[in-house]
Each structure stands twice: as C-alpha cells, then as structure tokens.
Chains A and B, each alone.
Chain A
Amino acid sequence: MDKAIPAPRRRLSRFNNAQRTDFWQIATLLFALLALLPLLAITYLAFFPEENIWPHLISTSLPKYVLNTLLLMIGVGVSIFLTGVSTAYTVTHFEFPLRRYLEWLLLLPLAVPAYVVAYLYTDLLEFAGPVQSALRSLFGWELARDYWFPNIRSLGGGIMVMGLVLYPYVYLLARAAFLEQSPNLLEASRLLGQGPFKTFVRVSLPIARPAIAIGVALGLMETLNDFGTVDFFAIKTLTAGLYDVWLGMGNVGGAAQIALTMLTFVLLLLALEYFGRRRQGFYQSGARFSHRRRLQLTGAFKWLALLICLTPVVLGFILPLLMLVNYSIIYFDIAWTRRFEEYALNSLLLSCTAAIIAVGLALVIAYGRRLHPNKLMLFASRFASLGYAVPGAVLAVGVIIPFAAFDNGVDALAREFLGFSTGLLLSGSLVAVIFAYVVRFMAVSIGAIEASFTKVSPSIDMAARTLGHRPRWVLGRFHLPLIKGGVLTALLVVFVDSMKELPATLILRPFNFETLATHVYQIASEERIGESALGALVIVLVGLLPVIILSRSIDRSAAMRQ
C-alpha cells in the first residue's frame, strides 16, 4: 500500500514560494521586526507624544537645526565628492611616484573617527595652538584682533574635519567604477576628438556617477550620524538638538520628533543610494580590464598628481596619527590608569558581544534567504539591514522608548501581583547598548556573509541535501567552512564599528559606565586633549584592522590585473 501522507501544511502567503514555514523563515522575519522596532517606536512617539512640542520646536529651534544640518551635509557632500573623485581618477588613470602605495593609503582616514580629528585639529589650530603661535611670533602679532584666522570650531571646521575622514567612501566606490570602465570606451572617446579632460567629464564621470552617488550617500549617512564633532564644535545640527531636547530638557517626545525629522534626511539618502545601485547594473560591466595603461606623468604634472593624492592622506591620517602618538607618549602616565584599563576592557567585551550576536543573526538571515529565495525574505533581510542608515542618536531614542515601555509594564505587573518593584530591567542596561550596536551594524554583517554565500554554488546545497543532510547541518558542515572568511570579516568589522560608536553609547550606557569612546569624548570635551590621546590612539589602531583587510583585497585585485 502507499505510505501515509503527512498532513498538509498551511500556506504562509502568496509571496511565499516555499509554502513551508520553518525555523529559518520565522527567525528571519522576527529579527527583521526587532530591527524595525526602534524606527516604529520613534514614528509612533513622534506622532503621539505625551506633550506635543511640534509647534514649539518649529517656532524656535527646529529651523536652525535643519538649516545647519543641511549646510553641513552639502558642505561635506561637496568636499568628499571632490576629494574622492579626484584621487580615485588620479590613481586609476595616471602613473606617478608612490602611486601603488597611495592606492591603499588613501583608505586609511576611514580608521579615524571624525571626533578624534576634530579634537586634534582644534588643538592644532586654536589661538594657543602651535600654528597660530608660530604665525604670531613670525609676524609679531600679539592679540587675536591683530590678525584674521578662521575659527576651527565652526560649521566650516566641521565640514573640513568630516570631509577629511569620510572621502574614502567616495574614493573606494569611484575607484572601483573607474577600474571597471573599459579602456576601449575612453579610447573611442579620444578618437572621436575629445580631449582627456572632456573625456573625463563626458564619459568617465557619467558612467561612474551611480557608484559616486552611493559613496556620497554613505558618507552623508555618517555625517548625519556624527555627534562628537558637532558637539565639540558647537554646531547646532539635528543631532546636537536631539541631545539638547532629550538630555537637557528631558523631553522624550521632542527627541522622537527631531529623530523623525532626521529620518526624513535618512530616507533621502537611502533613495540616493538605491537609485545609484539600480543604475549601477546598467552602467558597470563588473569586468576588470587587464590591459589598462596608465598615462605616465612627467614634470610638474607628476608632482601635482602626488600632491592631490598625498594631501588627504597626510591631513586625514598621518598628521592625526603622529599627534596621537606624540600626546600618548607625553601623557602616558596620566592617561594609563586602572580606570583606563577598565574602560578598554568594557569596550572589548561590549564590542565582542555585539559582533558575535550580529554575526549569529546575520548567518540565520542570510541562510534563511538562501533557503527561501522569495520576496518576503528579501524584504526581511533588507529591513533587518536598515540600521546602518539610522544615526546612532536616533537609534538610541528608538531603543529607549520600547525598552522603557517594557520596563514600566513589567514593573507595574510585578508591583500588582508580586508586591515589589522590578525597577529598570532593560533601559539603562548593557542590553540596550548591545541591541543598538547589533541593529546599527547588522548591515555590514549581513553584507559580508551574503557576499561570501554568493560564492558558494547553490548546487553545493542541493548536493548536500540530496545526500541526506538537514538544512542546519548543511550550514554547519558545508557552508561555514566555505564562508569562514566572510564570517571573520563580519565579526571584525562589527567589532571595530562598535568600538568606535559614540552617539548611541552616550545615551544608552548605564550610569557611570564608560567605554573608550565615551571616555575619550568626556575628557576631550573638558579640553584635556593630550590626555585623551591614548584612548583615541587605541581606537584608531583597532580601526585600522578592517581598513587593512580592505586594502589587501585592493592589492590582490591589483595583482590579478597584472
């Protein structure tokens, strides 16, 4: 007789080709929902606050916050566009001294948090700093009113500082786009009678435009995320405003409203990135061309090219690093204390936990998508990755709202039925900090793991399944050994990003709990910059790790081309 047929299962939805709900699918949807929770909370609270301060906000400070944020973003956008594109074009199209090294040196400023550069340049360029002192003694000036010198603690200073550390986003993507352009295309343009500059403007640049747009969008997301710089320079942006309203006035609803305003900026940037990515497919072949010949520069042009590429490296990385090393040595005895060790350990443990959780969740999500390649899972994994675009401060507000609601709920229940107060369980605990890190850095984790998953042929899965292995075994026995490179990269990047994270940590950390980042912020904002250098140096050195991996992959691709 025919064997008994198991009971049919219900269909999940019309999206779902798989028809079968399993652990991977439910887990992926759940994680996506969790990642969305902060955004939903902000939206809810912004529209239904306990105390409506919209009218007050709009009539007073909000226009100023928005204007400053806009100016900052425009300034940084222009700055990273110019620096990123000019350096990328120079290293891909011309041959000049040190070019091979500059190709990866140009990435290094990515390792330096903007707030660290801000502290250092303030120290360098303020009235008592070495630059102005030298000018004074050189020209015999004595007082500030004797001469004009730009104030670093200004909007312009903020633009300069962020431009210096964020241009690598544009550089990285523009460089890849230029490398993928067929040399034939440029030669065709030249043969049609266009000079090198016209060819750049009319052929190279438009083709690379989608990639550049993505780079600018990513850089501006970081701009929006920054708190340390704008706070130190007293630039009243939305982020600074959010801190004022929340920590200064204790108004959560108002903070949620400012956060929502910031989210509209985020939405614009996401749209910019999305359109960039959509067009990238049409514009870029994905091929690398082996017979690229770089134009050998001579004479003054040679040095000009070197200057173009060396300046951002020196200003964005070498100079800050030297200053940090110098101060670290001078102030070592004051800076290296038992408390410093404690903060470093806090940073280490917190970042490790966040990295392990983020990578674990990303594995489930990426594998869930692989098992069920349908639209629902695609949306879920996209939503789960949204955090990278949400500024840390906004995320923190979004985390604290539902966590506080949860705490209050539990507390009320406990009082009613158990007769005692549970107090704050989640908000103000490390759980909140880790949750924020995981949500914010989930995207890099999912990205790295999905990228290495795509290199594993789907037939590997099918082979393993037909040989009798269940999905979780396929992941453990067959995938993990093959994607361990991607998993390690994801662990490292999330670890480092968590270590550098400042705005969300400042809001969410438990009372009296410091990480290296908050410690550096704290003493630097008391103008004890020399003392803060050691912590900042550690952050920069750790931050170098993923950048080195990135530049090694650039080196490899360069080697493959030769």
Chain B
Amino acid sequence: MPLPRPLLQVKNIRCQYDERTAVDDVSFELQQGTLACLLGPSGCGKTTMLRAIAGFQHLQQGEIWLDGQCVSREDYTLRPEQRQLGMVFQDHALFPHMTVGQNVACGLGDLSKKARNSQVLSMLERVGLSSEMARFPHELSGGQQQRVALARSLAPRPRLLLMDEPFSNLDVELRERLGLEVRDLLKDTGTTCILVTHDQQDAFTFGQMVGVMSQGTIAQWDSAYNVYHEPNSRFVADFIGQGVFLSGEVLDDERVQTELAILHGKVPKGCGVGSKVQVLVRPDDIIHNDDSKLTARIVARNFRGSSYLYTLELESGVQLLSMVHSHHDHKLGEQLGIEIELDHLVVFPDIA
C-alpha cells in the first residue's frame, strides 16, 4: 500500500531578507499526525522556516504544499488567515485585553455562540484551566499562559500546529513537564505539529522526527534516536549531545584502529582502507571500570547530581569525556580505569 499523501510538503524553498539568505533550498515532508521538531542554533533559519509555512514569509524559490494545496510559491503566498494553521509563540502572545475565554474563542468566529462556548470550555478543560476562563492573561503564571495559548491555537482544529520555542520562557522543571503534557495532548487530538527550538532536550522530549538545521539548510532529517546516535555530519555530531573525536585509521569496512582499541561497526563507503578518520565518542561510550588495564588521568570533573562528567586525558594528550555514576567519586589527577563500549560507530573522514 502506498503511503498516504503527506500533510505538508516543503519543496526546495529559499527565503531571503534583502541580501541575506535565511533559508536555502530546504525540503522535507510531514505525514498526518507526526510531531516534528526543527532544532538548530540561533540564526540558523528555523524561525524563518516556520514563518514561511505560516505564510508570513514569502518564498524566493520553491513551493509549500499543505494538504494537497499549494499555499506558497515564488509568486504567490496564501494569506496566513486562510491557511487554517495554529501557532504558539515563545512569548505566548495572548491578547492582554481579553479574558482567557475570549482569547480561546478568538479563532472560532464562524461558529454559533453556543458551539463556540462549548468548544472554548472543552479546550480549556483539556489543558486543565476551565476554572480560569474569566481571568485575564496577566493574572496567570507563565505555564498557565502557555497552556491557554495552546488551547487557543487548537480550538479551531488547525490542520497543522506550529510552535516557536514554546517552552523557552519557562523554568527547567516546568518546561519538561509541560513538554510531555503537550506531546500527549497533541497525540490524543491527532494534531500534526512542527516545533522549533534551540534546545535539544525539548527536541528529544517532543519530536518523533527531528530536523537539525544549520545556516539555512537542514543538515539531517531523522528520528531523534538516529540524530543522536547516527549523526550524518560533523556539524550534527558536534551540535547534538556531547562527545569528542578520536583519530583513527580504517582497517577494513568494519574496523577502525584508534589508540584506545580497535572499534567495530559499519565504516561508511567514503572512507577507504588505510584512510585517516575521526570517530565520534560520546560520554556514555566510555565506561568506568576499575579492573580495566586502560587508564586515563582525570583533568576536570563536573558534578551533575546523578553522575559525574569527567574529562580524561590519555598519555598521548588526547582528551575524552566520560559519564560516571556519581557514587564513584574520584579525585582530580587520579588515573581512572576505563573501557570503550561503542554501539554505533560514527566515522567521518579526517579532513585535516
């Protein structure tokens, strides 16, 4: 059975502000019901992408198709108010002069008064704020405001929900809880959503699909798991998670020789036998083992509560990161027994 037509198709789009190109030749597709995430450092073009999909940003090239309809192309932009999209913002963007109920009712202009009220109430119930209906936005906490914003954007049953850094203004604990809550709500309602963030934790909590953006292009469009464990470029490997690169030499298409050990895995085609390569080693790939013959000197340590992040130095001067259970309290300068346990061999050709 062929896949159903994707809900959103972004085809080779380019967006420019005067001379600066913010988004350059980006393509991706989104199936109905998917929660996707655009992740990238500030200025990478992710917000511009979102604005383009919403219809606030015009295209210099390419097309955007929504539900089988071309909504943007070089010479045409369907008005945002005709796209039936929902949008949630970092600053919540609640209308300060309207009550919570009036805010949520804002997108329900074409319903009868009765239908509108019941829809407002049911949306507010879903986000657990039905008792706050008559209050004004400034009387609510940040988390509550964001819930109202979400209810407001979902009330007209949008075809696609766009979220621009929705959790960035909230404190760490709340953002994780709200992130999970929002994810469950969207799953329940079957909403398709694109979330834009610079925070990888947000992206991992939220997104089934993650697009890592860099300088106006999507570097990798993949599942969250793959983006972390199988980055397709040095940029993605650097940007996502922590880790260091070890120099090595390809022995054959399944083995790489490094100064720590011979590492097993799939070596990409571009790296021929005998060529110099860089191997990505995550802190969770370096396991602490007092019995190991291999040791490294602790040069820095960073207490993280449940774990220590040690910076280790091998005799050759090469540095590694290792995540170690925080019960193992080792001093600076101590030699720590380690072994390497690599589930995913991530290899890039050594350019230097």
Contact = CB atoms under 8 A, between A and B. Distances in A.
A86 B81 CA distance: 55
A333 interface: no
Interface string A14-35: 0001111000000000000000
B36 to A, nearest CB: 18
Contacts of B55: 465
Contact of A466 (B58, B76, B87): B87
Interface in B116-159: 149, 152-153, 156, 158
B70 A466 contact: no
Contacts of A17: 16-18, 58
Interface in B1-48: 16-18
A254 B138 CA distance: 61
Interface stretch (A3-11, A73-81, A151-159, A263-271): A3-11
Contact of B81 (A3, A457, A468): A468
Nearest to B90: A459
A459 B91 contact: yes
Contacts of A374: 18
A91 B68 CA distance: 67
Nearest to A2: B68
B114 to A, nearest CB: 19
Nearest to B104: A467
A377 to B, nearest CB: 13
Contacts of A463: 87, 89, 93-95, 149, 152-153
Given A6-B76, A460-B93, A462-B89, A467 B156 contact: yes
B96 A465 contact: no
Contacts of B83: 466
A2 B95 contact: no
Nearest to B84: A468
Interface residues of A, number: 28
A375 interface: yes
Given A20-B77, A463-B93, A466-B83, A5 B56 contact: no
A478 B95 contact: yes
A287 to B, nearest CB: 21
B81 A466 contact: yes
Contacts of A538: none
B76 A468 contact: no
Interface in B295-318: none
B321 to A, nearest CB: 38
A486 to B, nearest CB: 14
A2 B69 contact: yes
Contacts of B94: 463
Contacts of B106: 464, 467, 469
Contacts of A2: 68-70
Contacts of B17: 17
B270 interface: no
Contact of A9 (B56, B68, B76, B91): B76
Interface in B56-88: 56, 58, 68-70, 75-77, 79-87
B75 A8 contact: yes
Nearest to A16: B58
Nearest to B162: A466
Interface in A8-62: 8-9, 11, 17-20
Contacts of A467: 81, 106-107, 152-153, 156
A466 B86 contact: yes
A470 interface: yes
A5 B58 CA distance: 16
A467 B88 CA distance: 11
B97 interface: yes
Contacts of B16: 17
Given A3-B68, A20-B77, A466-B83, A482 B97 contact: yes
A481 interface: yes
Contacts of A478: 95
Interface string A432-470: 000000000000000000000000010110111111111
Given A19-B58, A460-B93, A466 B85 contact: yes
Main secondary structure of the interface of A (DSSP, over half): loop
A559 to B, nearest CB: 20
B100 to A, nearest CB: 14
A371 to B, nearest CB: 10
B81 A465 contact: yes
A409 B109 CA distance: 50
Given A19-B58, A459-B89, A466 B77 contact: no
Contacts of A3: 68-69
A273 B83 CA distance: 44
Contact of A468 (B51, B149, B156): B156
B308 to A, nearest CB: 39
Given A19-B58, A20-B77, A462 B93 contact: yes
B77 A19 contact: yes
A469 B54 CA distance: 14
Nearest to A460: B93
B79 to A, nearest CB: 8
A462 B77 contact: no
Nearest to A11: B75
Contact of A465 (B80, B158, B164): B80
Counting chain B CB atoms within 10 Å of each CB, the highest count among A9, A374, A459, A463 belongs to A463
Contacts of A469: 81, 106, 109
Contacts of B76: 5-6, 8-9
Count chain B CB atoms within 10 A of each CB in A17, A20, A462, A467 and give the residue with the most.
A467
B75 A466 contact: no
B153 A466 contact: yes
Given A2-B68, A3-B68, A460-B93, A468 B75 contact: no
Interface string A372-385: 00110000000000
A18 B81 CA distance: 16
Interface string A496-508: 0000000000000
B19 to A, nearest CB: 11
B201 to A, nearest CB: 23
A393 to B, nearest CB: 40
B81 A460 contact: no
B58 A462 contact: no
Contacts of B75: 8-9, 11, 19
Contacts of B18: 17, 374-375
Contacts of B89: 457, 459, 462-463
Contacts of B51: 462
B91 A457 contact: yes
Given A2-B69, A17-B58, A462 B91 contact: no
B152 A462 contact: no
A470 B83 CA distance: 12
Nearest to B155: A467
A466 B77 CA distance: 14
B86 A18 contact: no
* Residue of B58, B81, B164 most packed against chain A (CB within 10 A): B81
B96 A482 contact: yes
A20 B81 CA distance: 15
Leading 7 A-B pairs by shortest Cβ distance: A467-B107, A459-B93, A459-B89, A8-B75, A465-B80, A463-B93, A481-B97
Given A465-B79, A466-B54, A466-B107, 8 more contacts: A9-B75, A20-B77, A459-B91, A460-B95, A463-B95, A466-B153, A468-B109, A468-B156
30 contacts: A2-B68, A3-B68, A5-B70, A6-B76, A11-B75, A19-B58, A19-B75, A19-B77, A20-B77, A375-B18, A457-B91, A457-B93, A459-B93, A460-B93, A462-B87, A462-B93, A463-B89, A465-B79, A465-B80, A465-B81, A466-B54, A466-B80, A466-B81, A467-B156, A468-B107, A468-B156, A469-B81, A470-B79, A481-B97, A482-B97
